[in-house]
Amino acid sequence: MKIITLNEDSRQDVLENLLKRSPDNYAVYEETVNEIIRRVRQEGDQAVFAYTLKFDKFALSSENIRVSREEIKEAYGKLDPRLVEVIRKSAGNIRDFHVKQLRNSWFDTREDGTILGMRITPIARTGVYVPGGKAAYPSSVLMNVIPAKVAGVKEIVMTTPPGADGNVNPGTLVAADIAGVDTIYKVGGAQAIAAMAFGTQSIPKVDKITGPGNIFVALAKKAVYGHVSIDSIAGPSEILVLADETANPRYVAADLLSQAEHDELASAILVTTSGKLAQKVSDQVDQLVKELSRAGIIQKSLDQYGYILVADNMQDACDAVNEIASEHLEILTANPFEVMTKIRNAGAIFLGEYSSEPLGDYYAGPNHILPTNGTAKFFSPVNVDDFLKKSSIISYSREALGKAYEDIALFAESEGLTAHANSIKVRFED
C-alpha cells in the first residue's frame, strides 16, 4: 500500500481521488435508466417482463413473478442449518438494537387551551431491493427489513432478480422470511425500482424504497426520488482504520482487506501516528493478499484507493478522519473511547481490536447500511426513523388564539399575505 506523509496537500489529494467514486459520476448511464423507468411507468408489467427476459434471461409472467411459499420452504433445505440458525441470531440482535430507537408521539397541553405535539406513524408500505447472483447479501435483507418491521410498517415488499432458471438465491429467501417480508417479486435492476415507485399490474406502488444495488439501481433510485422516498444513493464500500503504535499490524491489515474485497472501487485507508506501524501494516497487507480468494479485486482496489497516511500527532490524524468521513471507522489505539470523542464524521465506529468491521456487517445489531463517499458528514445509518413519518399537532382555544392573533396578522401582512391575516382576523370580528 502507498505510505504517504499526512499534510494539507496529501489530505486534499486523497479526498479528490475518493470523490471520483461518487455515484454523481454515473451520468453516462442516466439515459438508459430513464428509458427503462419511462417504459415501466407507461407499460407496467409488460415492460418489466421484457426487461427481465433481456437482462436476466428468464421469461417472467404474471403467474411466476411472485415467490411462492413452496419456493421459500425449498430455500431452507438448500442452506446449511447452522447458517439458518446464525441468520436467526443475527436477526434477533438487529431487532433488539432497533427497538431501542422507537419513539412515541407526544403532546404538550397548557392551561389556556393550547395543545401542541407530534404524532408519529409508520409508512404504510415500503419496498426493499436486494441484488441477486454473485452479489446476494442475506445480511442486507435483515438490515433493510427489520427496522421497517420495528417501526410498524404494515406491508413490506421485496424485489430481487431471478436466475435464468427462475430461481432466487436461497439465502436471500430465508433471510426475507425470517425478517418478515410480506411478498417477494422476481424482478431486478432499474425496472424493479420503477415498478415499486409507480406500481404495475403485479407489483404495488410503495412509499419508500431501500436497499443496495448496482449503478443502474442507484441511478433509478435517484430518478424516482420525490415520487417515493429512498434511503440513499450508496457508493462503493470503504473502511478507515485510525491506529497508534499499540495496534496489532496483522489485525489492521486484515481489517483493511475486509472491505477492499468488495469491488475494485472500494477504499481502504489507514491513518496512523506511527511510521513503524505503517510499514508493518503494508508488509502484512502484501502477505495476506496472496492468501485470499479475491486477490485480484483486492489488489486493484488498493492500487487505486488504498492509502496509509502517517500523521504527526493524534489531533492531525483525527482531523483527517473527520474530513474523509468514512463509511466504517475502526479506532485501534491505546484508549479508543477517548479518541472517539474527537470524531464527528463516520457511518459506524468500531472501538478496540476485537471489534472488527465484519462484526457490524453481520451480527452485532447496529445497521450496516451506512453513508458513503463523505456523506457521513450529514447522513446517518438506516434506522427506525427512516420508516416513520411525523405530523405536527396544533390546537388553540379561542382564549389562546386571542392572545396571539394580532401578532400573527401583523406577521402575515408584512409578507403581503392578507388572506392569511384575514383567516385569523375573522375569528375576532365581534
* Active-site residue set: 327-328
Phi and psi at 46, nearest 5°, equal: -60, -40
Where do the H-state alpha helices sit in 261-397?
275-289, 295-305, 314-324, 336-340, 357-362
- Tell me if 196 sits within 8 A of 228, measured CB to CB: yes
Strand 388-395 relative to strand 115-122: parallel, antiparallel, unpaired?
antiparallel
Q: Quick one: which of 202, 158, 178 has its CA closest to 92?
A: 178
Could you tell me if 202 and 43 are in contact, meaning their C-beta atoms sit under 8 angstroms apart? no
| Longest Cα–Cα distance in the chain | 87
Give the integer Cα–Cα distance in Å for 367 and 145: 11
Q: Provide the grid cell at 256.
A: 483493511
Handedness of CA 180, 70, 186, 75 (dihedral sign): positive
Between CA 368 and CA 20 the distance in angstroms is 23
| Three-state secondary structure readout of 43-79 | HCHHHHHHHHHHHHCCCCCCCCCECCHHHHHHHHHHC
